[in-house]
Amino acid sequence: MSSPADLTLAEASAGLRGGKLSARELLEATFDRASLTEAELHAYLTIDHENARAAAAAADEAQANGLWVGPLHGIPVAIKDNMVTAALQTTAGSQILAGYVPPYDATAVTALKSAGAIIVGKTNLDEFAMGSSTENSGYGPSANPWDTTRVPGGSSGGSAAAVAAGSAMIALGSDTGGSIRQPASLCGVVGMKPTYGLVSRYGLIAFASSLDQIGPISRTVEDAAATLEVIAGHDPLDATSYRGEYPRYRSLLGEGVSGLRVGVVAELSGAGIHPEVLSAFRSAVDSLAEGGAIVSEVSLPSMEYALSAYYLIAPAECSANLARFDGVRYGLRVDGATVEEMTARTRAAGFGPEVTRRILLGTYALSAGYYDAFYGQAQKVRTLVIQDFTRAYEGVDVLVSPTSPITAFELGSRTEDPLSMYLVDVCTIPSNLAGTPGISVPVGIDGAGLPIGFQIMAPALGEEVLFRVAAEVERASAWNNRRPPMVEADHGV
């Protein structure tokens, strides 16, 4: 017997609507899956049994009274722990926020709840979303469900691991340089970063405000599109929120790719990409061509500098954003003789090494005398990246590349060398610098049994075509909705 925890959103909704499944049953199956996997995965920092059970009971009762709350009625959803949740501890993976209980919900969380979603809990992440493996979490790393000696990716590693394992049907992640797409790729699930401004950042604990974007992690492309329809929308509480029209992102699913122009990014699909990743990538590109897409190779010369620019801009913004953690306003305080000493001690005790490194790098890059040489230069590269993309999208509808140059690496194998960790983001960072959308779809498995992800990128507000191509990649891949071995028995395959 397979578990309801493995259903897709569309399947679960049909079951709930038709009375074949209750929100309570679905939630208990999700909790059971968490009990089975959490000791090894540590995908969650907090599981909110009590409130989730109350919400599921309320969903069932509403339905018994003929009320269908919304498109996520009764669906168990996990939230990355850098989005604030009212009355539920929110740590951003940092000891400096240990015990912090926010007084309000992030706008994206409110949107999920209004659509009927049940919040299962808060997922693990690299501290303040700085990292690519969840090993920078102040609460210990998460593991990859496909091989628990390996990382799930990051920084939304807990969200991706939970969705892959079935301890959440859908999760929210945040993506500043790849933190939704890269862990989705390493965990064999779908992860999508929307156009900057599409999903409100209100209540997202800021890392680098000009790059941060919230998005869905799910097991299917359709589920990601359906979730985006719920969380996207104008929010007066976020000054960068998009004010135009928000279409139905599922409108073009199933239309196929005939006649669409697909550009393979030359700089991101050759040197530096692992041969097994490259071969799965090429097969997926071939399948798009077989589906009638017009495939060409496109050169984006500035890609070479994007990573360096990101590692100046993101730390610079983080050094300003993290100044608010001063021992007075939130969470941890370590006393000292003066205010200055108290703040210094609090920060020394509360921030981990990677966050400290970023604050120092960012402060340096912004300091008088170095500003033009570092931050100013990086902003110019950012403009070149935007121009490269704009030029490329004059000739193609979407761009494609592998999501990550490698599959899931061993826990501990890259922690000593920050640069080798930073290099993992080479394919995902350009879309953040440009503010454009990107999605990772699983397309295969390597020799070690680890998932390989395929990235599709589109112009700003090009979500419909992005999902359209993603759906075709999903359909054509040999993936077939696979599950990690650790849950296969429970899944019933």
Binding region for ligand GLN (CB under 6 A): 129-132, 155, 175-179, 207, 314, 425
Q: Are 12 and 4 in contact (CB under 8 A)?
A: yes
Which residue, 59 or 78, is less far from ligand GLN as judged by CB?
Answer: 78
Six-digit token pair at 201? 């950042």
In sequence order, which residues have a C-beta less than 8 Å from that of residue 416 and are 6 or more positions away? none
H-type alpha helices, 174-261: 181-187, 221-231
Nearest CA to 254 among 440, 473, 480? Answer: 473
Per-position b or e across 224-253, b if 16+ CB within 10 A of its CB: bbbbbbbbbeebeebeebbeeeeeebbebb
Task: Choose between 134 and 148: whose C-beta lies nearer to ligand GLN.
Answer: 134
CA pair distance 386, 300, nearest whole angstrom: 10
CB 458 within 8 A of CB 465: yes
37/213 with CB nearer ligand GLN: 213
Residue with tokens 């954003």: 321
Residue 178 vs 256, nearer CB to ligand GLN: 178
CB nearer ligand GLN, residue 179 or residue 218: 179
Closest alpha carbon to 389 in 470, 301, 465, 281: 301
> Which CB, 207 or 305, lies closer to ligand GLN?
207
Angle between helices 275-290 and 463-476 (to 10 degrees): 100
Q: Which is nearer to ligand GLN, 12 or 186 (CB)?
A: 186
The residue among 22 and 182 lying less far from ligand GLN, judged by its C-beta, is 182
Q: Which amino acid is at 84?
A: V
Choose among 402, 423, 491, 407: nearest CA to 147: 407
- Provide the edge-to-edge strand list for the sheet that holds 451-457: 44-47, 118-123, 76-80, 170-174, 214-218, 190-193, 438-445, 451-457, 398-402, 261-265, 294-298
Q: Give the residue with the Cβ less far from ligand GLN, 177 or 216.
A: 177
For tokens 């826990």, name the residue. 411
Hey, which residues does 399 pair with through a beta bridge?
263, 457
Q: Which residue is nearest to ligand GLN (CB)?
A: 179
The distance of closest approach from Cβ of residue 182 to ligand GLN in the complex, given in angstroms and rounded to an integer, is: 7
Q: Identify the CA nearest to 6 among candidates 428, 413, 483.
A: 483
Q: How far is the CB of 115 from ligand GLN (least distance, A)?
A: 25
Nearest to 457 by CA among 380, 407, 408, 385: 385
Q: Cβ closer to ligand GLN: 131 or 145?
A: 131
Helix (H, G, I), strand (E, B) or coil at 440: strand
Among residues 173, 125, 174, the alpha carbon closest in space to that of 151 is found at 125
- Rounded Cα distance, 309 and 433, in Å: 9
- The continuous run of DSSP H or E covering 12 comes out as helix 9-17
Catalytic residues: 80, 155, 179
Question: Taking a C-beta distance cutoff of 8 angstroms, is the pair 258, 476 a contact?
Answer: no
Beta carbon of residue 313, minimum distance to ligand GLN (angstroms, whole number): 10
E-state strands within 334-491: 398-402, 438-445, 451-457
CB of 303 to ligand GLN, least distance (A): 16
Minimal distance, residue 176 CB to ligand GLN, in Å: 4
C-alpha–C-alpha distance, residues 26 and 8, integer Å: 12
